[in-house]
Structure 1
Amino acid sequence: MKKAIICLTLALAVFASAHAQNEKYTKAMEDAIARVKFMTPAAELQQTAGQFERIAGAETAEWLPGYWAAYTYALLSIKETDAAKRDAMLDKANEFYKKVAQQQPDNDETMVLAALLANARLAIDPENRWQQYVPEFEAALGKAKLKNPENPRVYALQGQSMFYTPEQYGGGKAVACPVLKQAAEKFATFKPASTIHPSWGVDTNQYLLGQCGK
């Protein structure tokens, strides 16, 4: 009886410790994710990327810290003006993406992240990079849509790409806005798997939709 009580006490202690560790991890992720916005100053985004890196280093079995690190570096690249620095940030993002892709190869969010990174590479030098990155972008989005047609980020990225593509190349508001509207409808019903799962895209989509009537 005494042995059973000791075993139960130890089991409860281990459970309590694991629960506390899980809460600490989730809280650290939530705090960092709250700062990952396009309007966040670059210096703060850089610090947040570093925070995701530290969490990823401590929680090696988790894929979400690496996912958010890659996404944050992609945002930093978009905000940067120097082409070499933009590519360097995307190199960093790709390091995290490759690990996420190994951990979550069949996840539509991983596929969307691949599309985002391809589009960010393309944006640095569209004239000379479209042959490589347009097919990569479209292939990754196509896989994501096939895997989960309800993922709003699929339509948000597609609409965003169309919005900034010149009309003579098949883009422009006329083709982009219906897709952006579709993304908004998907965002309205989308529920992330948790508070730390991918949830980005709605703000940019709303901004572009606001430009559709102008």
Structure 2
Amino acid sequence: MKKIALFLALVLVFSRTYSQNEKYTKAMEDAIAKATYATPTPELQRTAGQFERIANAETAEWLPAYWASYTYMLLSFKETDTGKKDALLDKADEFYKKIATRQADNDELMVLAAALASARLAVDGENRWQEYGPIFQANLDKAKQKNAGNPRIYLLEGQSLYYTPEQFGGGKTVACPVLKKAAEKFTTFKPASTIHPGWGLDMNQQLLSQCGQ
């Protein structure tokens, strides 16, 4: 009788845990579907708030904070005021820092750090390249050493080269082969789950279209 009672208790615990995990995954999937630059700003703001609430509730998970950081970064690209851009990136950094130490060996966090540095450069590249340029490159180099198959490494690298003037070593001629490499990596890349990072293909295709490819 005791064995049956223990078995039923274990089944109940498992059922509750599964239900909670299923609810968490569904909430994340719904938010991730809207975490794109094409999403209208008001909805993207709500999406960032949704990730923030999930991150505050699921403190043991790193993905909600990752996506909150990424979404606030997207919002910074939509903003035109420099001060507001930096304020949004401050929020993005806040969530990145919450998980950076816990995920120090995770190539996706290295890529995110590079993306955040690139976003800071986009605000004022002329006055910030000495500070954020090395951060951008160092994190891409670390990510490449950890997982050279991550397509977002080459997307960010190619994107940076694309928008760098030719006289400083950039331009289409050097950027397009890197973006093409990113496209090749995207064909074989599979996220670890439906809520793990998988962004970037649309950005890469858009840039490649400017390369005539």
Range class of TM-score, shorter chain: over 0.9
Partner of 2:119: 120
How far off its partner does 1:4 sit?
A: 1.1
Identical counterparts, % of pairs:
69
Alpha-carbon distance in 1 for matches of 2:121, 2:212: 27
Which residue identity is paired with 1:103? Answer: R
Alpha-carbon distance in 2 for matches of 1:130, 1:187: 28
Partner of 1:151: 150
How far off its partner does 1:100 sit?
A: 1.6
Partner of 2:89: 90
Matched, 1:80 2:79: yes
TM-score (norm 1): 0.98
Which residue identity is paired with 2:70? Answer: Y
Partner of 2:14: 15
Matched, 1:208 2:207: yes
Alpha-carbon distance in 2 for matches of 1:83, 1:155: 27
Number of aligned pairs? Answer: 213
Which residue identity is paired with 1:9? Answer: L
Alpha-carbon distance in 2 for matches of 1:95, 1:136: 17
Would you identify which runs of 4 or more consecutive aligned residues in structure 1 move more than 6 Å?
A: none
How far off its partner does 1:99 sit?
A: 1.1
Matched, 1:28 2:23: no
Alpha-carbon distance in 2 for matches of 1:158, 1:167: 15
How far off its partner does 1:102 sit?
A: 1.9
How far off its partner does 1:151 sit?
A: 0.2
Partner of 1:57: 56
Which residue identity is paired with 1:25? Answer: Y
Alpha-carbon distance in 2 for matches of 1:81, 1:147: 35
Q: Could you give the per-residue CA deviations for residues 125-162 of structure 1, whole angstroms, max 9, x where no partner exists?
A: 01100100111100010000010000000000000011
Which residue identity is paired with 2:17? Answer: A
Alpha-carbon distance in 1 for matches of 2:77, 2:162: 16
RMSD: 0.8
How far off its partner does 1:184 sit?
A: 0.2
Which residue identity is paired with 2:140? Answer: L
TM-score (norm 2): 0.99
Alpha-carbon distance in 1 for matches of 2:30, 2:85: 25
Which residue identity is paired with 1:139? Answer: A
Partner of 2:47: 48
Alpha-carbon distance in 2 for matches of 1:143, 1:17: 39
Partner of 2:173: 174
Question: For 1:122-137, what aligned pairs fall within 5 Å after superposition?
Answer: 122-137=121-136
Structure 1, unaligned runs of 5 or more: none
Alpha-carbon distance in 2 for matches of 1:196, 1:111: 18
Alpha-carbon distance in 1 for matches of 2:102, 2:79: 29
How far off its partner does 1:79 sit?
A: 1.2
Which residue identity is paired with 1:75? Answer: L
How far off its partner does 1:10 sit?
A: 0.5
